[in-house]
A and B are shown apart, each in its own frame.
Chain A
Amino acid sequence: MSDLLSNLALGFATALSLQNLGLAFIGCMVGTLIGVLPGIGPIATITMLLPITFNFEPVGALIMLAGIYYGAQYGGSTTAILVNIPGEVTAIVTTLDGHPMAKQGRAGVALGIAAIGSFFAGCVATLVIAALARPLVKLALLFGPAEYFALMVMGLAFAVVLASGSVPKAMAMILFGLLLSTVGTDLETGVERLTFGIPALTSGIDFAVLAMGVIGFAEVLKNLEVPEKRDLAKQPIGRLLPGREDLKASVWPIVRGTLVGTILGILPGNGAVLGPYASYTIEKKVAKDPRRFGRGAIEGVAGPESANNAGAQSSFIPLLTLGIPPNAVMALMVGAMTIHGIVPGPLVMSKNATLFWGMIASMWIGNLMLLVINLPLVGIWVKLLDVPYRLMYPAILVFSCIGIYSVNNSPSDVLLTGIFALIGYALLKLGFETAPLLLGFVLGRLM
């Protein structure tokens, strides 16, 4: 126990440094921003910001990227409640009861309970990560290369099973990712492999280039096909703080949601996405009068909102302790870590103790920041919805191109990203998911 406390103290000392505090703040702001804006998800944003973080210290870089991820969970609920647009996949459930609440003039209360629930869930998840880390790492240290390989294969298998689309297609994408990870100079023999004689490929495909093309740019292409329509009927937000009745009704949903979200988040695959659904189902089951759900039941906001935030954070557990990415965002984190020269795995905790505990502490701080960013500034965030996508995507492209160029100061990287964007678009059109591809690529590099 005292061990845990001293570790957390170390973490807070790291996370509270001026630079890291600033980066956590930027991460949370950006996360909220993209959470609010439909059409830009955390995966695409993290891929786009990945190149820029190369200039930071590894701890700061990861703190910022993590902030984007869980910040997006907060932001996503804001638009779900106010304008019935789920900013993120995880906020879809929130629209069911959150928006009816807004229609009844209780938007503020819905936002308030969502933020309180998320904050509680974030605190609990942070503690769970801190408590589970040491035993899990001890276990992982007993593993040899063979066990490790088996664990990775298991991770891949889970990712396939839990992928939303067809299983053979997900498997094909993982294999495609593996294949792409073999491009470049072979480490054993020094021979050039699958480079087609192109000099830019001899050192292998850059993770940032692949991710930006296949996920970031391809998402822009996907969004361009959908004509934009936003229903911006605005209701007054009303008071933000829930009354005693509301709080009483929400306490248990928040606790249950946190529990369900934390457990599902640890699972490989799309844990953080499953959490809110599971929580909503549970709340509906235990409710005395299930008919209220869908008509503005506060439990239907409190539970799922807690679950999605808990899940977003607990999905860091497999990454930080075992070095295995349970989902696409965590695969990006693996990419970020390796770029900074950190090999993800059980050794991170002992070798990079400041990074490990600093990240955990920053999550708690980040949650506190999000509470402050979200509630009072809610009006500003909603105004952002007025920015049309026709202006948003050219700006995204400019920033992304600069980001990719700055990784190696290489124009050919930018060109390669463009090619991967086309490949990513074709894959989407053929019904392939691109997240498993990234997982396969990352694991191929780790093997």
Chain B
Amino acid sequence: MSESAGIREDRARRRIEIRAPQDFAAGIALVVLALIAFWASAELGEGRFFTVGPALLPRMVATLIGIIGAGLVVSGLIKDGDAMGRWTLRGPLFIFISVAAFALSIRTIGLALAGPLVAVISGAASPETRPRELVLFALVVTALSIALFRYLLHLPIPILIIPRVLVL
């Protein structure tokens, strides 16, 4: 794995300056993280010499993160390293949507809908999914989890809420 990356890097060196794209990007991400932390703690007091303010620790940590980030950016320019690797959008996108769908529906409608929603939407994240099998499986898993969490573990999870008609 690292060998093939090395060969790829050799080729990249002749064209572009960035020799370790992954480290370079990681460094930039850290610098951005540090900047966000500074921005978010901008209004907090840092404290004086004898009193520690609420912003002291986050800013100290953010400074260190920024320094490491800058270091990675520099070393990404001079030292050979791993390539970026393949980023996929499909997985993260559908998984996030499915989790968000659960968050939105669990309190308003209940687990009877939220459960199948997570399973079916997240199923779209994998190219190997077979739709009909998944829908059936989603219903079984939901039924099982209703039995387990609500009736066995007695967690206060709403199962089905139809406004003014039914609350389970």
Contact = CB atoms under 8 A, between A and B. Distances in A.
Interface string B85-119: 11110011001101110111011000100110011
A350 interface: no
Complex A-B, nearest 4 residue pairs according to Cβ-Cβ distance, in ascending order? A418-B99, A186-B54, A394-B119, A414-B103
B76 to A, nearest CB: 11
A385 to B, nearest CB: 16
Nearest to B30: A172
A168 B72 contact: yes
Contacts of A172: 26, 30, 65, 68-69, 72
Interface stretch (A189-197, A249-257, A277-285): A189-197
B130 interface: yes
Contacts of B65: 172, 175-176, 179
A224 B126 contact: yes
Interface of B: 22-23, 25-26, 29-30, 33, 37, 40-41, 44-45, 52-55, 57-58, 61-62, 64-65, 68-69, 71-72, 82, 84-88, 91-92, 95-96, 98-100, 102-104, 106-107, 111, 114-115, 118-120, 122-123, 125-126, 128-130, 133-134, 137-138, 141-142, 145, 149, 153-157
Contacts of B84: 429
A316 interface: no
Interface residues on A, range: 35 or more
A69 to B, nearest CB: 22
Contacts, number: 172
Contacts of A193: 41, 44, 54-55, 58
Given A178-B61, A397-B118, A430-B26, A224 B106 contact: no
Interface centre among A182, A188, A393, A406 (most CB of B within 10 A): A182
Interface string A264-295: 00000000000000000000000000000000
Given A225-B91, A398-B115, A432-B26, 17 more contacts: A169-B26, A172-B26, A188-B54, A191-B44, A193-B55, A397-B98, A398-B119, A402-B111, A402-B149, A405-B157, A414-B103, A421-B95, A421-B96, A422-B92, A422-B96, A429-B85, A430-B25
